[in-house]
Amino acid sequence: MRRTESETGELAGRRAVVTGSSSGIGRAIALELAAAGADVLVTARRSRREAFRTSRAIEALGRAAPVVMADLATVAGCRDLIAAAWRAFGRVDIWVNNAGADILTGSGARLDYERKLDRLWRVDALASMRLSRAVGERMAKLGEGTIINMGWDGARGGLAGESGELFAAVKGAVMSFSTSLALSLAPRVRVNCLAPGWIRTAWGRRAPAAWRRRVLRGTPLGRWGNPEDVAKLARFLASPAAGFLTGQVIAVNGGAVRF
What is the number of structural domains in the chain?
1
Range of the domain at 107: 5-252
In a domain, 133, yes or no: yes
Query: In Å, what is the CA distance from 32 to each residue of 21, 28, 40, 220, 257?
Result: 11, 6, 10, 26, 27
What is the model's pLDDT at position 207? Answer: 74
In a domain, 32, yes or no: yes
Edge to edge, the sheet with strand 249-252 lists 67-69, 39-44, 15-18, 94-97, 145-150, 189-196, 249-252
In a domain, 61, yes or no: yes
In a domain, 259, yes or no: no
What is the model's pLDDT at position 1? Answer: 43
Count of alpha carbons within 13 angstroms of residue 148, beta-carbon side:
31
What is the model's pLDDT at position 206? Answer: 73
In a domain, 39, yes or no: yes
Query: In CATH, what number is assigned to the domain containing residue 176?
Result: 3.40.50.720
What is the model's pLDDT at position 109? Answer: 85
In a domain, 44, yes or no: yes
The alpha carbon of residue 3 and the mean position of all alpha carbons in its chain are separated, in whole angstroms, by 29
In a domain, 257, yes or no: no
What is the model's pLDDT at position 8? Answer: 74
Query: Average pLDDT per run of 10 along the chain, which is 259 residues long?
Result: 66 98 97 98 95 98 98 97 98 97 84 93 97 98 97 86 88 98 98 94 75 84 94 98 98 82
Q: What is the pLDDT of residues 106-146, one digit of tens each?
A: 888 888 999 999 999 999 999 999 999 999 999 999 999 99
Q: Distance between CA 178 and CA 187 in Å, rounded?
A: 15
In a domain, 17, yes or no: yes
What is the value of pTM for the model shown?
0.93
Query: In Å, what is the CA distance from 212 to each residue of 106, 143, 257?
Result: 20, 45, 17
Q: Taking each helix axis as running N to C, give the angle between helix 127-142 and helix 75-89, from 0 to 180 degrees, rounded to the nearest 10.
A: 30
Please choose, from the candidates 240, 18, 66, 67, the residue with its C-alpha nearest in 3D space to the C-alpha of residue 145.
240
Phi, psi of 156 (to 5 degrees): -95, -40
